[in-house]
Homo-oligomer: A and B are copies of this chain.
Amino acid sequence: MTEEHISGGYNGKILRANLSTRSISVEEIDELFCRRYLGGAGFVTYFQWKELKQGIDPLDPDNKLMFAVGPVTGVSVPGSGRHCVGAKSPLTGGYAKSESGGFWGVELKQAGYDGIIIEGKADKPVYLWIHDGEASIRDAAHLWGHNTKETQDSIKTELGDDRIRVATIGPGGEHLVKYACIINELKDAAGRGGMGAVMGSKNLKAIAVRGHKKPRVVEPERLKEFREWFMANQELWQGMHDRGTGGMMEGDMAAGNIPVSNFRDGEFVDISKITAQAVRDTIRVKMEGCFACPLRCKKVVQVDGPYSVDSAYGGPEYETLAAIGCNCGIGDLKAIAKGNELCNAYSLDTISAGDVIAFAMECFENGLLNTKDTGGIELRFGNAEAMLKTIELIARREGIGDMLAEGTVKAAEKIGRGAIEFAMQVKGLEIPMHEPRLKAGLGLGYAVNPHGADHMNNIHDTMYTEPGADLDVVKPFGILEPLAADELGPSKVSLFRYVQQELIIRDCLVLCDFIPCDIIRLRDILAAVTGWRTSSVEMLKVAERTLTLARMINIREGFTADDDKLPNRFSQPRRNGALSNKPYDFQQLQKAKSYYYGLMGWDTKTGIPTPEKLEELCLE
């Protein structure tokens, strides 16, 4: 297929690499497929549905690891430097996808591909090298055991090009830590669901890419208009530009959004020590950004002394500041920065890692674990040294790290004696740093999201408590009336559904959630790139298709509506601080789930998509 047969924004090519047979092939995708799934999350969802056999072990060669960019990847609009990774999750046993920022996806696009499907398992460590349409499988025995920076540096050196982009795993992925992530450019992660473990299970150490083909844009003038609008409205993103994520932690703590000590508490006196402002004022050396993005929201930190941190690994985002910070009772910013560096070096998801450690700390404090189990570590809330030591053990599956590498559910099963009550997860995926007892819609989102507890394809209810506040340009929904954060009636459910779909569209394009841009501008960007006469309605349908297909994948794996649930802990109020008299209303959640299913065209009891909805979405 030549370029003339595919829209702007696409190469029309998927690279397929079978590591068992060491064969590489290129497959063409057509315009109809692109328009039905767009890219990114749409593509990896489709291929999971189409190509993964029911019941396979996620760490078996039968699983496939998929990377996809989208029509927007690498074009000159802010937030276009992202890609999506998907596979059957070793953490949930179901559908998974995760996005990452940076430059790697752009390089893949420029190398001539819209996606990669990795099959089988190499008999010894390898890496994949893709450059300007060419691809080869190369020996990685010398890289195995190395952290991400050593790996990246070695690959760049041996291929003789410093501008190569590398997505790689560290020891965490190699040791099949169930929540190992895939790190690109040392500081960006396809974090959730254990994509790094799947990579490790295939003996695939890294994927290095380099390309020079500029993505084709059909109507560049329209993109320019968007860029100009974006630059002219700097006040919409100035805060992210100045501080990055974590700039509102003090207010959020007071409101009750931030978990403390494994979601048990709401009070944390040291909160001001671990905010983005604290980072800026103490350890930050600069800000960096992704491809083509003037937001530059990524902190880069450097620490000397006992917790020395290499600035090559970037700096902690909000999720990390909270997950290995206050949610472990830790207020030592340098220790948190060190923990962040370790996770990036070892390829561990900081959210799951933080939740796992918080879980272990609570088990320890409740006598379910002791120093014999931990190898002498006093694994208590607030013990920064213990947190860092535990990350090391997990990454190499040493001592208690072996059990904790399995994630909270499996670890709780092993520990027994009610430890499961401390496992803060949905479907096995650990919960991000946003409190459903404050945000009722977010709790619904945690429960029904196909890949488990997720904050990215979710509603942050507090944004909707003022009529229309910030929504016209930031989100696609001017809303009429305030919807209280803790409200979960049909209006909130309906709003959640729209928000979820808008965010899935971004993951299909792939475009960063931080770019202030309503669904219409998303439509305009897509139309400009591809030349399609498309519409927001058609795009929302792509999101519906993707979500329904993800649901079908989970149903194939035995998931039911009963798996759309929150941990019991949320039925109790927090022990102190904000919301200390406010449990999550589980009865309301049941009703909300049913209403959500109905809005999605799924059976209101079972959550199974109706045959008519499948037909409507061309998923027969």
Contacts and interface: CB of A to CB of B under 8 A. Distances in A.
A489 B36 contact: no
B480 A538 contact: yes
Contact of A595 (B469, B533, B612): B612
A426 interface: no
5 contacts: A478-B527, A478-B532, A491-B616, A518-B535, A598-B601
A533 B471 contact: yes
Report, nearest first, the 3 A-B pairs whose CB atoms are least far apart.
A490-B616, A468-B533, A478-B535
B478 A533 contact: yes
Contacts of A498: 537
Given A536-B520, A612-B490, A35 B471 contact: no
Contacts of A480: 32, 35-36, 538, 541
A335 to B, nearest CB: 43
Contacts of A519: 536-537
A493 B612 CA distance: 10
A318 interface: no
A572 to B, nearest CB: 28
Given A32-B481, A472-B527, A520-B520, A613 B490 contact: yes
A370 interface: no
Nearest to A494: B616
Interface string A599-620: 1010000000010110110100
A520 to B, nearest CB: 5
Interface in A576-615: 591, 595, 598-599, 601, 610, 612-613, 615
A489 B534 contact: no
A135 interface: no
Assembly stoichiometry (copies): 2
A479 interface: yes
Interface of A: 32, 35-36, 467-469, 471-472, 476-481, 489-491, 493-494, 498, 518-520, 523, 527, 532-538, 541, 591, 595, 598-599, 601, 610, 612-613, 615-616, 618
B35 A491 contact: no
Contacts of A481: 32, 618
Contact of A535 (B471, B591, B613): B471
A354 B601 CA distance: 41
Given A480-B36, A490-B616, A618-B491, A536 B535 contact: no
A478 B616 contact: no
Contacts of A36: 480
A472 B489 CA distance: 34
B616 A472 contact: no
Contacts of A469: 533
Given A533-B468, A601-B598, A478 B615 contact: no
Contacts of A591: 612
Contacts of A477: 535, 537-538
A245 to B, nearest CB: 25
Contacts of A618: 481, 491
A491 B615 contact: yes
Given A32-B481, A520-B520, A527-B472, A493 B616 contact: yes
Contact of A534 (B472, B599, B612): B472
A351 B615 CA distance: 36
A506 to B, nearest CB: 16
A535 B491 contact: no
B613 A476 contact: no
A515 B348 CA distance: 55
Contacts of A538: 477-480
Contacts of A490: 612-613, 615-616
